[in-house]
Amino acid sequence: MTIARHKRSPGGQLPSTLPRFCIAFLMSESELQKNRKAIDALDAEILALLNKRAEHARVIGRIKQENGAVELYDPAREAELLRRLSAANQGPILKSQLYAIYREIVSACLALEQTQHICYLGPEGTFTHMAALKHFGQSAQFSYRTTIIDLFDALGKDECDYVVAPIENSTEGMVSLTIDMLAGRDLFIIGELEIPIRHCLLGQSGLDLDAIKEVHAHEQALSQCRHWLRENMPHATLHKQPSNGVAVQMALNHNNAAAVGAQVNAQLYNLSIIANNVQDIAGNKTRFVVLGKRAVAATGKDKTALLFAVLHKPGALYRALGEFAKEGIDLTRLESRPLKTASWSYSFFVELRGHISDEHIARAVEGIEVECSFVKFLGSYPSIS
């Protein structure tokens, strides 16, 4: 079909002889091109501004280094930036999208100042890996360790600058080994973040549920999927692994074996997704902590983590917790842990709202020392909630 071409009138108006659908098409095409040109101009402006920002970041990095700064990454400054931008944002960009964009901008600018080496609980494709990428952005340098102990060792031996480790799951509670490792190391929690946990059952191509004899996963993942596995795969034996990444390797290398892991592992390891969303609770989340060797300055919206053990005296725990109540401090978590140095003795992991430099927090910590055999400061860090 041939469509006749019509010229505009001298005044720029479309001739009245054009069909309505043609007029509507030409007007929408004109509007489309106008908006595309506007976006092109804005992209050029954004690029110029990004490079200006990067130049300022590079100057700041040089000044910090000249003044003897060992670490250029500033979690407090980054948290303040994201909160300020979030408060000023009028949309339509969502808060989560804004955070993702600026994480990458900050990551790229920081990489011009200093390469950040981040260790996570791996191998590649674990939820901890996803958390590390979310927090530090693609421009950081990443490597993994296959156990939480090795992860803490890497930071203690200066094999990396920061570590990302799981600390709590919304359905299964605290990751005990992370708490135990914090108790024995001179490290600080400097950040926290959450990742939604959506587990998949992964296996070799052509494998179905009836053919699977073994399911491999981290013990937390097995616990988060126990009802689904019992109902759908009662014949399979469950095997705990140091991480879901190791579990995926088992599924890759063994016939009739499957693994619980993130969907991204299907592409990374050329595995098939046998079943999606096998977690028992849809809103399942894991909280991760970022660990470093230096404490973080206050941001105005912080949490503080402590570990303490009370003396064996009647009412010692009651009086210790009373110090927090007396100062009006909101405790967001209280967890008991067995002491490794004495049988049937316990320490308490506490998270509270506020920074260790806040006067009322400092008074409470000083107050509980009277009732405790030890008090260990684990870090103050920007709060995500």
Rounded-to-integer distance, Cα 262 and Cα 200, Å: 6
- Give the CA distances from residue 71 to residues 3, 160, 169, in Å, rounded to whole numbers and listed in that order: 67, 12, 30
- Give the CA distances from residue 35 to residues 31, 38, 40, in Å, rounded to whole numbers and listed in that order: 6, 5, 9
Q: What pLDDT tens digit does each residue of the chain (385 aa) get? A: 444 454 555 555 555 555 666 656 666 778 888 888 999 999 999 999 999 999 999 998 888 888 877 777 899 999 999 999 999 999 899 999 999 999 999 999 999 888 899 999 988 888 999 999 999 999 999 999 989 999 999 999 999 999 999 999 988 888 989 999 998 899 999 999 999 999 999 999 888 898 999 999 988 899 999 999 999 999 999 999 988 888 998 998 888 999 999 988 888 888 999 999 999 998 889 999 999 999 999 999 999 999 999 998 999 999 999 999 999 999 999 999 888 777 778 899 999 999 999 999 999 999 999 999 999 999 999 998 7
Phi, psi angle pair for 228, to nearest 5°:
-65, -45
Residue 26 pLDDT? 61
Residue owning tokens 């190391």: 185
Report the candidate in 156, 189, 169 with the shortest Cα–Cα distance to residue 289: 189
Q: What is the DSSP letter of 63?
A: H
All structural domains of the chain, each given as residue ranges with its CATH number in brackets, are 115-196+284-294 (3.40.190.10), 200-280 (3.40.190.10), 297-382 (3.30.70.260)
Return the bridge partners of 247, or none: none
Q: Hey, what are 11's tokens?
A: 């005044």
Contact of 114 with 64, CB cutoff 8 Å:
no
